[in-house]
Structure 1
Amino acid sequence: MKKTLLSAVVGAVFTHCTLAHAVTLNDSLELIGSVGAFSEYSMRGISYTQRKPAVQATATLVHSSGLYAGVWSSNVDNEGIDARYEADYFAGFAHQFSDQVGLDVGYIKYTFPKGTILNAGEAYAVLSAYGFKLGSYYSNDYYGDQSFIYNYVGYGIKDLPYGLGLDFRYGVADYKDPSFFSSTGASKDSYREWEVKLSKNWLSLDWSASYVDTNLSETECLGFQGDKESCSARLVVGVSKSF
């Protein structure tokens, strides 16, 4: 099975995952997996562990046809809910038109045991072409009945000197209803986020360091996430082992 197909699957579902290896189960089926430790669980510019460390693991079955299904999990720390971990289930289809161009479509179900208000589902589509990525994720049941769309554009450079990789992402998350409130009482229903990530495989481990930031103020972040610094500029580092 082409490594470009496996990379597309992992990159579309969770952009912070890195593919190094895959386990061949038979001529048509392979297993991608990883476990890692990170300085925090950061997703779309916001910390879901309030800047505390996170342990994450994922496993994905990939068929040679492009169909795949898997599970991803991480500890979480969100103010006001009892959930201590997140378990996400996903399935989709990835197709490589060439080594440089691919399309991935699928669905993710986010679950938070004991924190069901956060349970949600997202449909997604990610187009990859010549190092660029255009992604769109849509849900109509965030926080019960809130619709939500997240769009991003990214670019990745591989095989830099010293075996480094460099990735850029700029995204916009847009909610149906106002969800962010400033100290003046003003509200908005969307925010912007961006990330610059350096990565390297060393000693058979995947190392990464990311600069992450959003345009949310401390007051807006405090009301939305329960921590005023979870949306601010910060460095997120991590190490993972893939198989």
Structure 2
Amino acid sequence: MKHAFKMASIILAAVAPWSEGNAIELSKDFTLAVDAGLYSQYWSRGMSQTLGDPAIQGAVTLIHSSGLYAGVWSSNVDFGHGSKARQEIDYYLGYSWQIADKVTLDLTYLEYEYPKQGDLNYSEYYAKLNAYGFIAGGYYSDDLWSNQSMLYSFVGYETTLPGDVGFKSRYGLADYKDPVFVSGDGSARNKYNEWQVEFNKEFLGVKWSISYADSDLSKAECMNFAGFDDICSATVVAGVSKSF
């Protein structure tokens, strides 16, 4: 039984942001993680997915003591410009391998679905290595917008500060392989950098978080890519979440 819960805690840390850290015992080998959160916006890879508006997010993950897991995560979205997409649903299947006491490798396959706008659906392969709080990994897709390749790679560090304050940092590089980010002078590039720093704390039975996020996309590049010039700029994301 202890092995099942230990494996669950490792996987929940590995598959963040889908889970926050608790699990419900179902049997000797199976546990279930259920999480829900409210955030000031849905921020992903240097861009707001809700035009800066609040997001409600939740996840259910079934975990086996062997390291296998499967689940679903969802959030509201808003891409503007007449997009019918109002919800993102992510289905994932993965395996978490505990290489050593503080070293884990997580491998996951994900399917992203957008009800009412299926042309946005795509899939990704994900890998993340966590060694003593230092993290490195990436997501790769070859069917974004049906035929676009994209690699998002990242490094970071996670730890617990004095006072049981959680700290997370990430620096990422999004490479779309083609020059899709067009600046004001007409020049274009295929990649950009983004970063995020978060502090969180358990209080009154829920987790409170606040983070600073930014990217090196210019307003013109953001406008030409996403249709808005203010969803890729520096921002603060606040949230409150609960694990059941």
Task: Tell me the TM-score normalised to structure 2 length.
Answer: 0.94
Structure 2 segments unaligned to the other structure (5+ residues):
none
2:77 and 2:13 mapped to 1: Cα distance?
21
Contact map agreement 2:8 2:64 (CA 8 A) in 1: no
My pick for the range that moved more, 78-87 or 59-68, is 78-87
Partner of 2:52: 51
Aligned partner letter, 1:143:
W
User: Are the structure 2 counterparts of residues 167 and 206 from structure 1 closer, same or farther at C-alpha, using a change threshold of 3 Å?
Assistant: same
User: Are the structure 2 counterparts of residues 2 and 209 from structure 1 closer, same or farther at C-alpha, using a change threshold of 3 Å?
Assistant: farther
TM-superposed CA distance for 1:213, in Å, is 0.3
TM-superposed CA distance for 1:226, in Å, is 2.3
Counting aligned pairs with the same residue, the percent is 46
My pick for the range that moved more, 1-10 or 27-36, is 1-10
TM-superposed CA distance for 1:8, in Å, is 4.0
User: Are the structure 2 counterparts of residues 8 and 134 from structure 1 closer, same or farther at C-alpha, using a change threshold of 3 Å?
Assistant: farther
Contact map agreement 2:4 2:64 (CA 8 A) in 1: no
Q: How many residues align?
A: 241
Q: What SS does the corresponding residue of 1:97 show, helix, strand or coil? A: strand
Partner of 1:122: 124
Post-superposition CA distance 1:92-111 (Å, at most 9, x none): 10011222001111101001
Partner of 2:156: 154
Q: What SS does the corresponding residue of 2:84 show, helix, strand or coil? A: coil
1:41 paired to 2:7 = no
TM-superposed CA distance for 1:10, in Å, is 3.4
Partner of 2:84: 82
Q: 1:132 aligns with which of 119, 131, 134?
A: 134
User: Are the structure 2 counterparts of residues 130 and 4 from structure 1 closer, same or farther at C-alpha, using a change threshold of 3 Å?
Assistant: farther
Partner of 1:189: 190
Contact map agreement 1:8 1:104 (CA 8 A) in 2: no
Aligned partner letter, 2:207:
D
Q: 1:95 aligns with which of 94, 97, 113?
A: 97
User: Are the structure 2 counterparts of residues 170 and 144 from structure 1 closer, same or farther at C-alpha, using a change threshold of 3 Å?
Assistant: same
2:76 and 2:11 mapped to 1: Cα distance?
23
Structure 1 segments unaligned to the other structure (5+ residues):
none
Matches within 5 A, 1:1-243: 1=3, 5-13=7-15, 15-80=16-81, 81-158=83-160, 160-243=161-244
TM-superposed CA distance for 1:150, in Å, is 0.7
1:77 and 1:22 mapped to 2: Cα distance?
31
Q: What SS does the corresponding residue of 2:11 show, helix, strand or coil? A: helix
1:230 and 1:200 mapped to 2: Cα distance?
27
TM-superposed CA distance for 1:176, in Å, is 2.0
User: Are the structure 2 counterparts of residues 34 and 148 from structure 1 closer, same or farther at C-alpha, using a change threshold of 3 Å?
Assistant: same
Q: What SS does the corresponding residue of 2:163 show, helix, strand or coil? A: helix
TM-superposed CA distance for 1:5, in Å, is 3.5
